[in-house]
Amino acid sequence: MIGRSQLKCPAVHNYMVSKSAWEDKKKKAEFEPYKPLNFPVHIPLESLASEGKLTLYGSKSRINVGTAACGRAAGALNIYNNLEQRDWNEKAQVFKTGCIGACYAEPLVNIRTADGKHYFYGRVDTNSMWRIIRTAEEGGTVSSPYLWAVARERQPDLLRSFEDLELIKVYNPGFDEFFRPQVRRISGRCGLVDPENIAEYVAMGGYRALQQALFKLSKRQIIDMIGASGLRGRGGAGFPTADKVNMAYESPDPVRYVIANADEGDPGAYMDRALLESDPHSVLEGLIISALVTGASQAYIFVRHEYPLAVQVLNKAINSARKVRLVGDNILGSSFSLNITVVESGGAFVCGEETSMLQVMKGQRGEPQLRPPYPASRGFREHPTVIDNVETLANIPWIILNGADAFRAKGTEKSPGTKIFCLAGDIKRSGFIEVPLGTGTKVLVEGVGGAVKDSVKALHIGGPSGGIVPYRDFPLDYETVASAGAIMGSGGLVPLSKKRCMVDMARHMTNFMASESCGKCNICRGGLLELEARLLALTIGRGYPGILDEIEELSKCIPQISLCGLGKTAANPVTTTLTYFRDEYEAHLKGKCPAVSCKPLIDFEIILPCKECHACYSVCPTGAVKMRAGKTDRLVVDPELCIKCWACYETCPFDSIKICSEEFSCKNW
Amino acid sequence: MQELVEITVDGKNMAVSADTTVLQALREHDIYLPALCYHPHLEAYGSCGLCLVEILNDDNWETKHACLLKVKDGLQIRTDTSELRLLRSWAAKIFLRHRPFLNHKTENFLLNLVQDEIKEKPEDENLTKCIKDLSGYMTEGCILCGLCVRMCSKIGKHHLTFLGKGKNLRISFVRGKSGETSCGNCRACCHVCPAGFITSNAEQAFSAKLY
């Protein structure tokens, strides 16, 4: 026979207390304050911080190897393994950190010696290993082409962000130019902190905002604070964050959700990934505060499946936060509990849109839904849901720590604060940068990016649903960008040089949108295909009279009929290029590509007489470069055989090959 | 007693019941508005882009989908302007890429929507070739309006679904978990299909020929 104590249901068993004991318990509760039995032992932030300080400002040298996705692509793991395997003899320790922002300098190694100096080694390879080791073991400057800059901490043993560093010696002037215009508020810790170590994050001032929000401020005060700061959603639309939170806060529904949107699909934009890989705890802190204010007990982070490293780092961060009770029940000993779950998406562009993201989380096809009702009033499982971009969330702790006025000190009146932009394209220095909103494009492209003057023709802002506008100096804020016909998007900034064909760019973007549209609306699915076909016809020299009018009409119709944000902005690259670069469209109609980029419209010619080094002859893969008999003018390109691979053009040591694009001499359509 | 609201359609006032969409209200009053993806028994979807109307919003005429727009008091609607005709003609033109249709009525209906000046002009063959290059093959005869998918879900069978996205969108037949060979031949999808693509049952239409 089974004894009562062996019963499988302990809850029932515990409940069977005698009536008198139950009365006793009740009486006791009147005198003693409520205290749960298995109350978790909370690790105070101070002890965590002191633990983090040991590794951050230890007596050993600290070697940070940037191993975010950009660093790994450049071979940082190899460097890390080499350094890690060395017997340092208690003189140094090697850490994996995220990306500092200067993706062009990867693999980047940053050494902090015990005297508080930081040595930045850029584009490191195995040749530079000994210099790194020497710097780490002995300190002092070693002259080396790999050593780009030396910085020191403004106050010794105080490193909360990149702003606390002061460059004292710059060996690579580009490195200084890259960082000088930047104001690194939310991305300041990236590349300096070990993303998987929560203690270091706390030592750098992390989770203090959460502490303040929990114990010193009321929910109303926090919402007012965010409202006063004028923080706008960094995901693209620029909706005021405080309004969103307020809508959910005032809702009568007791169940609320908070979702961090890390599904960024814009080609050329990777600020969400950079933040998640390099400083996941700042996002977590923002998410926890956002959930606290909203009154949610469950938060989700919606990450792209294509960011495996970000997912991995994020999961580790959540687990370590759970271990020290910063996530889970009774956060920091308060009555607030929050569970955070990471949701991996399949990685479709359209799922970055909040309503279609909710559809995916419900387990349905990622089709955008009609708004209103906005998710903030009725979203996930029909409950109020606050959906914020990762970058927006990372801003919230900063605002709580420094106040709304400090936030407004940078940026413009209508778009305050800083914004992370991703620089890519035809520039020398690419990477992710944080500048105040309203910074001039000239500063970004020529200063930070280091583009050669007058080489940039156009700026592509905001990814494939943004626009392509002619390059001139204008402030980058939500209003100015919108008035130029583009959208800020998530902040991709691609300068395009004079060699880029605008029609081909528009075709490429339309192709992207046509394949990434959900396909629900006929006009978005079929209309974008029609548009792409017409642009393709132009770039292969098969245009016909009236094609430009058709393109113009279509690009006006698609936003009008489409239901969601994707369709409404899908034709932006076409409309903007058509307004600003109409001459290129017209030239294509005549069979000429002014930027000499569209393959079917260009020809290669050898300027004769040349030096006859035969480099082009030997490199041509199809035998299009032919040698003629005779003594002069022996080399010629056969247009029939030429596949326009540009090999001869790039090989020629004397620049004797020219690319030309001529208008059709006779009408061949 | 049904609550009534007053709306203005093309200058004429009319009283319609409050809980309807504009498209339903107009259908009840015998005002013609073309629509392909609409079915009275299904939830509004808004994919075809034909049932467009213009509503007055602060002195601006805004284009809206009639099937998704709820009626409200004092709503001013225009159903037939040159802009709307242009939008509809593009939408119809895009549908006509899926020709030939088995259902001639739909084909004629779409051809009527395409504006005359566009219809008469023969299309450039280069463009036709480009479209073929880009999309591989168009789903011939099926306009991907999604009526069959929604109908199949509505009657609780869930045998049809969309596959892929964007220009590669297709409709697919899903066998049940037990691997039933047939979907039950209720032929609900055949009755709603506007293009007449589904002739006998969905399984034949979507698993054999195209998909």
**pLDDT over 50 at A10, yes or no:** no
Interface of A with B in 317-356 (CB under 8 A): 348, 350
pLDDT in tens, A536-574: 999 988 888 889 999 999 999 999 999 888 888 899 999
Say which CATH topology domain B4-80 has. Answer: Ubiquitin-like (UB roll) (3.10.20)
A8 falls in which pLDDT band (50, 70, 90)?
very low
**pLDDT over 90 at B158, yes or no:** no
String of DSSP letters for A91-135: SEEEEEE---S-GGG-S-EEEE-TTSEEEEE-S--GGGHHHHHHH
pTM of the model: 0.88
Rounded mean pLDDT, A473-497: 87
**pLDDT over 50 at B145, yes or no:** yes
User: Which chain B residues contact residue A544 at CB under 8 A?
Assistant: 124, 126-127
User: Is the Cβ of A568 closer than 8 Å to some Cβ of chain B?
Assistant: no
| Whole-number pLDDT of residue B159 | 85
User: Is the Cβ of A44 closer than 8 Å to some Cβ of chain B?
Assistant: no
Both tokens assigned to A579 = 């307004």
User: Which chain B residues contact residue A551 at CB under 8 A?
Assistant: none
The β-bridge relationship of strands A431-436 and B60-65 is: unpaired
| Whole-number pLDDT of residue A20 | 62
Which of A250-259, A315-324, A633-642 has the weakest average pLDDT? A633-642
Give the percent of chain A with pLDDT over 90.
43
pLDDT in tens, A242-289: 999 999 999 998 999 999 999 888 888 888 999 999 999 999 999 999
Number of residues assigned to chain B: 211
**pLDDT over 80 at B117, yes or no:** no
**pLDDT over 90 at A507, yes or no:** yes
**pLDDT over 50 at B101, yes or no:** yes
Mutate to test the interface with A, among B123, B130, B143, B161 (most CBs of A within 10 A): B130
Rounded mean pLDDT, A296-323: 92
| Residue A155 CB-density burial (10 A; 0-12 exposed, 13-18 middle, 19+ buried) | exposed
B1 compared with A414, residue with greater pLDDT: A414
Question: A563: nearest CA in chain B?
Answer: B46
| Whole-number pLDDT of residue B1 | 58
User: Is the Cβ of B122 closer than 8 Å to some Cβ of chain A?
Assistant: no
Mutate to test the interface with B, among A370, A561, A588 (most CBs of B within 10 A): A561
B120 falls in which pLDDT band (50, 70, 90)?
low
User: Which chain B residues contact residue A514 at CB under 8 A?
Assistant: 134, 166-167
- Identify which of A398, A208, A256, A304 has the alpha carbon closest to the alpha carbon of residue A314: A304
User: Is the Cβ of A548 closer than 8 Å to some Cβ of chain B?
Assistant: no
Which of A506-510, B35-39, B134-138 has the weakest average pLDDT? B134-138
User: Which chain A residues contact residue B124 at CB under 8 A?
Assistant: 537, 544, 547, 669
| Whole-number pLDDT of residue A23 | 65
| Whole-number pLDDT of residue A388 | 93
Mutate to test the interface with B, among A522, A553, A589 (most CBs of B within 10 A): A522
pLDDT in tens, A366-414: 888 888 888 888 889 999 999 999 999 999 999 999 999 999 999 888 8
**pLDDT over 50 at A354, yes or no:** yes
Contact A515 B166 (CB under 8 A): yes
pLDDT in tens, A136-160: 888 777 778 889 999 989 888 888 8
Picking from A515, A523, A532, the nearest residue to B168 by CB comes out as A515
User: Which chain A residues contact residue B144 at CB under 8 A?
Assistant: 519, 522, 525
Picking from A516, A526, A554, the nearest residue to B165 by CB comes out as A516
Helix/strand number for chain B, H first, E second? 8, 7
Which of A229-238, A355-364, B82-91, B146-155 has the weakest average pLDDT? A229-238
Q: Rounded distance, CA B122 to CA B100, Å?
A: 17
B118 falls in which pLDDT band (50, 70, 90)?
low
Rounded mean pLDDT, A452-471: 89
Domain with CATH 3.10.20.740 in chain B: 4-80
Distance from CA of A502 to the nearest CA of B (A): 19
Q: Output the CA torsion sign for A288, A292, A294, A295.
A: positive
Angle at A81 between CA A77 and CA A87, to 5 degrees: 155
Distance from CA of B89 to the nearest CA of A (A): 10
Q: For A600, which DSSP code?
A: G
Question: B85: nearest CA in chain A?
Answer: A557
User: Is the Cβ of A532 closer than 8 Å to some Cβ of chain B?
Assistant: yes
| Whole-number pLDDT of residue A456 | 92
Contact B94 A527 (CB under 8 A): yes
| Whole-number pLDDT of residue A32 | 52
User: Is the Cβ of A664 closer than 8 Å to some Cβ of chain B?
Assistant: no
User: Which chain B residues contact residue A533 at CB under 8 A?
Assistant: 127, 130-131, 134
Helices A219-229, A390-402: crossing angle, 10 deg rounding? 100
Contact A544 B126 (CB under 8 A): yes
Give all domains of chain A, ordered by start, each with its CATH number: 49-179 (3.40.30.10), 198-407 (3.40.50.11540), 418-497 (3.10.20.600), 502-589 (1.20.1440.230), 603-660 (3.30.70.20)
Question: A544: nearest CA in chain B?
Answer: B124
Interface of B with A in 170-209 (CB under 8 A): none
| Whole-number pLDDT of residue B208 | 45
User: Which chain B residues contact residue A348 at CB under 8 A?
Assistant: 165
What is the average pLDDT value for chain B, to the nearest integer? 83
**pLDDT over 80 at A517, yes or no:** yes
SS (HEC) of A441-463: HHHHHHHHCCCCCCCEEEEEECH
B137 falls in which pLDDT band (50, 70, 90)?
low
Picking from B45, B65, B94, the nearest residue to A526 by CB comes out as B94
**pLDDT over 50 at A13, yes or no:** no
Interface predicted TM-score of the whole assembly (ipTM), two decimals:
0.92
Contact B87 A560 (CB under 8 A): yes
What is the average pLDDT value for chain A, to the nearest integer? 87
User: Which chain A residues contact residue B68 at CB under 8 A?
Assistant: 370, 563
Contact A561 B164 (CB under 8 A): no
Report yes or no: A569 and A539 within 8 Å, Cβ to Cβ: no
| Whole-number pLDDT of residue A96 | 92
Distance from CA of B93 to the nearest CA of A (A): 9
pLDDT in tens, A33-91: 444 445 445 667 888 888 888 888 888 899 999 999 999 999 999 999 999 998 888 88
A663 falls in which pLDDT band (50, 70, 90)?
confident
Helix%, strand%, coil% for chain B, nearest 5: 35, 20, 50
Interface of A with B in 483-512 (CB under 8 A): 511
Rounded mean pLDDT, B164-174: 84
Residues 6+ apart with CB under 8 A from A218: none
Q: Coil, strand or helix: which one is A49?
A: helix
Chains A, B: CB contacts within 8 A come to: 117
Rounded mean pLDDT, B127-140: 75
Give the percent of chain A with pLDDT over 70.
92
String of DSSP letters for A620-636: -SSS-EEEPSSSSS-EE
- Identify which of A616, A621, A623, A627 has the alpha carbon closest to the alpha carbon of residue A657: A616
| Whole-number pLDDT of residue A25 | 58
| Residue A6 CB-density burial (10 A; 0-12 exposed, 13-18 middle, 19+ buried) | exposed
Rounded mean pLDDT, A198-227: 92
